[in-house]
Amino acid sequence: MLVLTRRKGQSIMIGDGIEISVEDVSGDAVRIGIRAPKEVSVYRRELYDAIREENISAARTAGAAAAQELKKLQTPPRKKEKGEKQLFRKSEE
């Protein structure tokens, strides 16, 4: 982890398109500004973690639902009716 010291009004650059600036310092709180391209998502860590957990939960639910649907689509092997000919022979090993 890179740790930097910045004062009010100073900033740091991440790559060519993300700028993080110190807007205000008051007691133990620091206000920061973030300038980033629209395609870059910026979240507070606690919100990012909540979104990530929700996505994992949704993926598990969707996976379980898909598995249930596949089970419904599976048909049990059909028993041969009396007088019906067997179409394929079992290979002998």
pLDDT tens per residue across span 10-19: 999 999 999 9
The answer to whether residues 54 and 67 touch, using CB atoms and an 8 Å cutoff, is no
Q: Look-up: residue for tokens 């041969």?
A: 80
pTM for this structure? 0.58
Give domain limits for the chain: 10-41, 43-73
Residue 50, SS3? Answer: helix
**One-letter amino acid for residue 73 of the chain:** L
Residue 72, SS3? Answer: helix
Nearest Cα neighbor of 39 from 19, 60, 57, 18 is: 18
Q: What span, in angstroms and rounded, lies between the C-alpha atoms of 5 and 36?
A: 21
pLDDT in tens, the chain (93 residues): 999 999 999 999 999 999 999 999 999 999 999 999 999 999 999 999 999 998 888 887 877 777 777 777 776 666 767 766 666 666 555
